[in-house]
Structure 1
């Protein structure tokens, strides 16, 4: 959509107007309305809103898709596209395409995910820093990023610099993780996947890195496991690790007990839900792009959720087909799946995806123009420019797409089929096989009209297992592909559809329903005589509890003559669920082995991969996790992730148990006398237009004291932007009084000392800092200190700004999973908030607030 400000200014809407309209559009679904308005409604950097409802957004997208069509034969019209995407009913461009198509206010990519990487086995510091910069440059354009660390030499290897030996993989994991946390993407942080081959001698260190609290918190991690390792586990035989990995002439080689390392992977996944596993030989053997590996399409890693394995500098855009909408007469005995309409729409979805590639190439042109116009020196801009030129080349050459689905759980329920049953798995397989055949047919048809992707070579692909399955299923499609080629190098995926499913008001992706009925709370005025108060929190606020029905569960009730407006008791709710097609079909009910088998069968018809999580109850054994992983490999899954209920906060639970032996309120054993020197982290932040800085002194990585103040006034403190660590040293002044100095190493390795943190800042700040530091030293839990600071009633604007800064600095040290009390989500108003990597994250809608 082109907005011409030289003519009549376009109409804008207030937040209140747009929310009211969106709420009506989503039939009073507060969460869906807020998600759409906050994430996808067209707005400029000043907060002006240009779209009143998703109809406006869908019209914007349809206009752009139709504009692309004019370049080709037999063009679709704007209305053709609008009718496919309106109401989120049939075809839903996901995430970046939805936000970015026709958006003149963002210079950003339409790709959801990227993979980057160094060529060959380069692990020089220059190569490491290049990847770091590329990662940041992609994240600032809204992309999720993955890259592999298998090229980095193992710990203790000889290097030709002053260090003499390599530090190994883990420090670089921390570097890339920290870079991710620094990049903001419209209120959220970037997403990163780090992977490493199990064949790498440092793979065990990689696997263990995330267990250490506060380390590698900005990345998902997955291990690339080869068939040889799995055979060694199965047969209880040794396994040889090498560097370079799988080298015929390795510089490092060692034999390990495969089962010992396997048990470590299983234990860590059981305890913390990571690492994920990538069955790498399955990925490579099944990959069609790897038929072109010598032309730059060798798969090296995956995107952050694991559903798109990619070669360096390739990217992918995502789209979901809403499966529920193809069920005629849902939740009745006459329910039937409309395969005829479904096939027609799959071809249209592939057409939309190909058009989005053209729109992406335009976006990349805009990014390159922006880089060229930036005032930095050419050598500063070189890495970013070359990055986008590489991405442009891959997008134009391979034209990779990512058609997926959402609402699998609701589709099966609407058909009266239990998710996870034999019948359910068989029907799901038929649906996904249909998607594969019709999407490839659509890509062949596009090749006839628009030309095949430029390096298409049928001879290269002829032995690929996926291509062979297509040949067996539909010979005509196969021979048409030999004659005309294919428009796109690879086509299919199954991605998670978090916010997408909120707007389609369906189950997410391939997953079953999480809960068909749940309770939420809304704040009420306690003076309202008519209000029902079910809960009073620690702050004295009153709340009413109310039942929320999953949208399609409510539809089932309405179709079958039940009153969804009634205030049901818990026993009545339980009885309703038993009667429904969602009974024994929730994420916690589905048989785990059945779900793995279903994933493996469907994977045969998905040329990329599948993002799916096996949800397990808290009390399952580690042995079961190992059995699930082994089963996933055997049935042909490309990757697998398990989540044991409470596992991400399981460490916190065990900590609580240990804390019971301590005197009440004393949770951390600090020395009774302050050490002269403390390690310290530097935290920078901005309140309004003022720049602030915090120095947090640490003992055993736990906050012990804090100093905070302005950085840019006459009495403030100035240190280089790149300094984020140092020492706080307790010293004496000439008059015998105490002062606290900050010391750091400059780029040449020399020590630089800034004297007197205690008097560099406003004395009022210092007095409050002493109070806060005292509570830290006595071991008061960080989340309680955050609550305490937030509750302080302070008089001046500057001291309140200081207060907010201290809170922001200390939130980084609240253990992940800690529940935030007395606060509510800005998006959905839920009180189900937890601390996650220094931010408040809503467990109901997934929105995150940092600061």
Structure 2
């Protein structure tokens, strides 16, 4: 077998390096022509080293890599699974899919990184000292550089105006620290993307209103998601229109400070901001902690304090979680026929295997953490410098060993229901989903109990502590024999289940994502054609005169339905014919924009009862949805038992910026044509073709006014510490009356350091183009138009093209989130409905993105 031969050569130490194009073409064949799935796999999950060299040609080789490592751990324990069994579960993304960190990191000896998808950090005793806050900041950065998403709570920080015993006399409150943590996130690169951060605060905190408003100002807190922890008392105050008491400390029986607030007014602000900007998200904190099995051990360090960036894993400080998804569609036998049925027996069996594999991955994670600790010990820094990072990973290792938390979840729920002929959102579909998730919960808990018998329970397991937990009570009621067995021999894992977003995972399984319905069963795409070719049909002519032919792109399982139902899949359908096809299919009225919103919220609440962590789900609303509807959805989510909810109204992120955009355009006309002598400046680092580049962006009123860029750290370039992110660009006049631009920054000792002559440090050709671009920036051209100008430069020198790409990447970060692209089409669906988010173009129609 070809794969096994490759596997043996890998085991013997022979690793062949493939080009990106070789891997892409092989992956394209593997995914049967699905370019998006192939690109995702090559870019995110194929085995590669720090130089970008690829060592896997297809996902099949990746699946054998995962198989070998899991099988190695299995051999440590009784009744080990064989390699063939494990590979059969991974093969073709059919049944079990390790997500994110586990898929990329298991068996990767080239990089020292964690396998965990998410972490939460915090201080013992909720310290709000400056030292404690700075420690959290450093821990956040250390985790993000290992590719982890991070969450932490700000409720322990004293409110603005509180007395402090330092020269400031009073506290600055929460918001400045939100900005600090957000900026730290933006500074950490994770293989071409920034880290992910969740900041939360209790609604009981006196600064919660400032927290809720913090992201409404464009350009603020752009490196973090924010969610408000809402308790039952607050919700009752809202529903009953009663006042609410805020206090600090938020959990104190005898607080230092308290005040009465209008709950309805504060609630209206939350609703308005979410309606307008999709943030803050809401965490129903009493539901989370009341249902949390780990909180039965709160006094032993397992008190839940925040969630990961997408909200599906509430965690205690220094705990982490790894995720795995089960492809629900694969358990539908004879899909899209009258004989369709769900194979519950096979499903339960595979859930048990998934839980077992998850427990193996914890052992693999402990090996990774040991490698991180060894690297820290061998680093040349002083013990004092390394102390925070080492203590961080030691704490994480202890929690992983003690609790052995897992995150078994699902994907393909929308396709599962369609395959069974059930319309997503209907009562019968909701009832069936509940049965599936109930079966998953019982099978996973059953497997964890069996593992406890074979491998031992998690060290602090205690039946008495858990006996009153609502989730454990449901397990007991549904399966008394399982509960009795668990009471006697314990359970291997402190908590087991989640439903995470599965964006890239679902691209490779070629199914709907997570618990969500299908986004669109069919959409139109365009390809450029020669209008003089008699064999083509011109459907669209763009603004530059290029001709395009439109053709249909089908959701993978919709295509399966067409094949099963006898419809041609290669026919060039008219829009009317496509509409008729959709109307005949089980996807009709079952897209993310069709599903009744209240039904979706109720479904989430019912499924949540069988998920011991949480569910990441977004309620998509049309642009004309009212604030009242958003408020009603939130109240219904609380009443239904949801642990959290995010509402996204179509175009809402852009809506934050509409009025401000007009204001900015007015301000641009007032841009001074004469450059001020001193400008604030950002330092932007990036990489092009393995070369390190650097840009200095001069800012006026926070907007780019000029740019200098070129190679960094070469003998003719800029030598600048990587910790320097900001400074000033100072214009000076030489004796010959030519201009000289110096960069000045404050070093670690607090002294000003100057790099003279940016205009002479870089290649002269770079400088000439920089003058051109700086000129149009200074005359107020919109950033997006500047990018089009740069992209349109006709350059025949590879080095200059690298420079051009770098300028584009440096400037994209200054396009406000939500700005609609005025030109360009989605490469996936050819839609022109593109908006910028963190410098990345996001398609609002099909959800795909292109970053660069």
Greater alpha carbon shift after TM alignment, 244-253 vs 420-429: 244-253
- 2:612 paired residue number: 607
SS across alignment from 2:656: helix
Which of 554, 577, 592 aligns to 2:597? It is 592
Question: How many angstroms apart in 2 are the aligned matches of 1:829 and 1:381?
Answer: 49
SS across alignment from 2:97: strand
- 1:364 paired residue number: 369
Where in structure 1 are there 5+ consecutive unaligned residues?
A: none
1:508 Cα deviation from its structure 2 partner = 0.5
1:100 matches 2:118:
no
- 1:520 paired residue number: 525
1:265 matches 2:266:
no
- 1:649 paired residue number: 654
SS across alignment from 2:199: strand
Write out aligned runs for 1:385-424 (5 A). 385-424=390-429
Write out aligned runs for 1:772-783 (5 A). 772-783=773-784
Does structure 2 retain, via aligned residues, the 8 Å contact 1:148–1:195?
A: yes
**1:283–1:159 distance in 2 versus 1, CA, 3 Å:** same
* Aligned-residue CA RMSD (Å): 2.9
Question: How many angstroms apart in 2 are the aligned matches of 1:713 and 1:106?
Answer: 25
1:144 matches 2:149:
yes
**1:699–1:187 distance in 2 versus 1, CA, 3 Å:** closer
- 2:3 paired residue number: none
1:705 Cα deviation from its structure 2 partner = 3.1
Does structure 2 retain, via aligned residues, the 8 Å contact 1:601–1:635?
A: yes
**1:517–1:365 distance in 2 versus 1, CA, 3 Å:** same
- 1:683 paired residue number: 684
Does structure 1 retain, via aligned residues, the 8 Å contact 2:679–2:728?
A: yes
Does structure 2 retain, via aligned residues, the 8 Å contact 1:183–1:190?
A: yes
Question: How many angstroms apart in 2 are the aligned matches of 1:16 and 1:797?
Answer: 19
SS across alignment from 1:706: strand
Question: How many angstroms apart in 2 are the aligned matches of 1:708 and 1:49?
Answer: 30
Does structure 2 retain, via aligned residues, the 8 Å contact 1:740–1:755?
A: yes
**1:235–1:570 distance in 2 versus 1, CA, 3 Å:** same
Does structure 2 retain, via aligned residues, the 8 Å contact 1:685–1:691?
A: yes
Question: How many angstroms apart in 2 are the aligned matches of 1:845 and 1:367?
Answer: 39
- 2:138 paired residue number: 133
SS across alignment from 2:704: strand
Which of 298, 308, 321 aligns to 2:326? It is 321
Question: How many angstroms apart in 1 are the aligned matches of 2:369 and 2:804?
Answer: 42
- 1:210 paired residue number: 215
SS across alignment from 1:120: helix
Question: How many angstroms apart in 2 are the aligned matches of 1:606 and 1:668?
Answer: 55
Greater alpha carbon shift after TM alignment, 577-586 vs 102-111: 102-111
Greater alpha carbon shift after TM alignment, 712-721 vs 412-421: 712-721
Which of 388, 394, 397 aligns to 1:383? It is 388
1:790 Cα deviation from its structure 2 partner = 2.2
Does structure 2 retain, via aligned residues, the 8 Å contact 1:308–1:609?
A: yes
Deviations 1:227-247 (A, max 9, x none): 111111112122122221132
Greater alpha carbon shift after TM alignment, 691-700 vs 741-750: 741-750
**1:724–1:832 distance in 2 versus 1, CA, 3 Å:** same
**1:330–1:380 distance in 2 versus 1, CA, 3 Å:** same
- 2:514 paired residue number: 509
Deviations 1:59-109 (A, max 9, x none): 222222222111111111111111122121111111111112222222221
- 2:815 paired residue number: 814
- 1:636 paired residue number: 641
Which of 253, 260, 277 aligns to 1:248? It is 253
1:278 matches 2:283:
yes
Question: How many angstroms apart in 2 are the aligned matches of 1:698 and 1:234?
Answer: 47
1:75 matches 2:71:
no
Does structure 1 retain, via aligned residues, the 8 Å contact 2:7–2:61?
A: no
1:346 matches 2:347:
no
SS across alignment from 1:431: helix
Does structure 2 retain, via aligned residues, the 8 Å contact 1:31–1:828?
A: no
**1:164–1:724 distance in 2 versus 1, CA, 3 Å:** farther
Deviations 1:623-657 (A, max 9, x none): 11011011111111100000101111123445567
SS across alignment from 1:135: helix
Greater alpha carbon shift after TM alignment, 137-146 vs 120-129: 120-129
**1:393–1:81 distance in 2 versus 1, CA, 3 Å:** same
What is the aligned residue count? 847
1:599 Cα deviation from its structure 2 partner = 0.6
SS across alignment from 1:267: helix
Question: How many angstroms apart in 1 are the aligned matches of 2:240 and 2:576?
Answer: 50
TM superposition score normalised by structure 1: 0.93
Greater alpha carbon shift after TM alignment, 417-426 vs 698-707: 698-707
SS across alignment from 1:63: helix
Question: How many angstroms apart in 2 are the aligned matches of 1:699 and 1:188?
Answer: 27
1:576 matches 2:581:
yes
1:55 Cα deviation from its structure 2 partner = 2.1
Write out aligned runs for 1:143-162 (5 A). 143-162=148-167
- 2:180 paired residue number: 175
**1:383–1:668 distance in 2 versus 1, CA, 3 Å:** farther
SS across alignment from 1:294: helix
Question: How many angstroms apart in 2 are the aligned matches of 1:795 and 1:581?
Answer: 52
Question: How many angstroms apart in 2 are the aligned matches of 1:46 and 1:716?
Answer: 22
Question: How many angstroms apart in 2 are the aligned matches of 1:788 and 1:844?
Answer: 26
**1:314–1:524 distance in 2 versus 1, CA, 3 Å:** farther
**1:343–1:714 distance in 2 versus 1, CA, 3 Å:** closer
- 1:700 paired residue number: 701
1:218 Cα deviation from its structure 2 partner = 1.4
Greater alpha carbon shift after TM alignment, 23-32 vs 760-769: 760-769
Greater alpha carbon shift after TM alignment, 273-282 vs 233-242: 233-242
Does structure 2 retain, via aligned residues, the 8 Å contact 1:150–1:200?
A: yes
Does structure 1 retain, via aligned residues, the 8 Å contact 2:654–2:820?
A: no
- 1:500 paired residue number: 505
- 1:31 paired residue number: 36
Write out aligned runs for 1:613-632 (5 A). 613-632=618-637
1:124 Cα deviation from its structure 2 partner = 2.3
1:522 Cα deviation from its structure 2 partner = 3.5
Question: How many angstroms apart in 2 are the aligned matches of 1:717 and 1:352?
Answer: 48
Question: How many angstroms apart in 1 are the aligned matches of 2:71 and 2:11?
Answer: 24
1:454 Cα deviation from its structure 2 partner = 0.5
Deviations 1:309-347 (A, max 9, x none): 000111111111111111111111111111111111111
TM superposition score normalised by structure 2: 0.93
1:759 Cα deviation from its structure 2 partner = 6.2
SS across alignment from 2:73: helix
Question: How many angstroms apart in 2 are the aligned matches of 1:202 and 1:234?
Answer: 22
Which of 284, 290, 293 aligns to 1:288? It is 293
Does structure 1 retain, via aligned residues, the 8 Å contact 2:526–2:829?
A: no
Question: How many angstroms apart in 1 are the aligned matches of 2:204 and 2:728?
Answer: 38
**1:51–1:731 distance in 2 versus 1, CA, 3 Å:** closer
Greater alpha carbon shift after TM alignment, 24-33 vs 790-799: 790-799
Greater alpha carbon shift after TM alignment, 47-56 vs 622-631: 47-56
Question: How many angstroms apart in 2 are the aligned matches of 1:6 and 1:683?
Answer: 41
Deviations 1:497-536 (A, max 9, x none): 1111111111110001110001223445678665555445
- 2:557 paired residue number: 552
Greater alpha carbon shift after TM alignment, 528-537 vs 124-133: 528-537
Greater alpha carbon shift after TM alignment, 93-102 vs 521-530: 521-530
Question: How many angstroms apart in 2 are the aligned matches of 1:92 and 1:6?
Answer: 23
SS across alignment from 2:125: coil
Deviations 1:287-318 (A, max 9, x none): 01000011110101101100000001111111
SS across alignment from 1:201: coil
1:732 Cα deviation from its structure 2 partner = 6.0
**1:384–1:841 distance in 2 versus 1, CA, 3 Å:** farther
Question: How many angstroms apart in 2 are the aligned matches of 1:360 and 1:433?
Answer: 28
Question: How many angstroms apart in 1 are the aligned matches of 2:609 and 2:131?
Answer: 40
Question: How many angstroms apart in 1 are the aligned matches of 2:326 and 2:465?
Answer: 30
Where in structure 2 are there 5+ consecutive unaligned residues?
A: 1-5
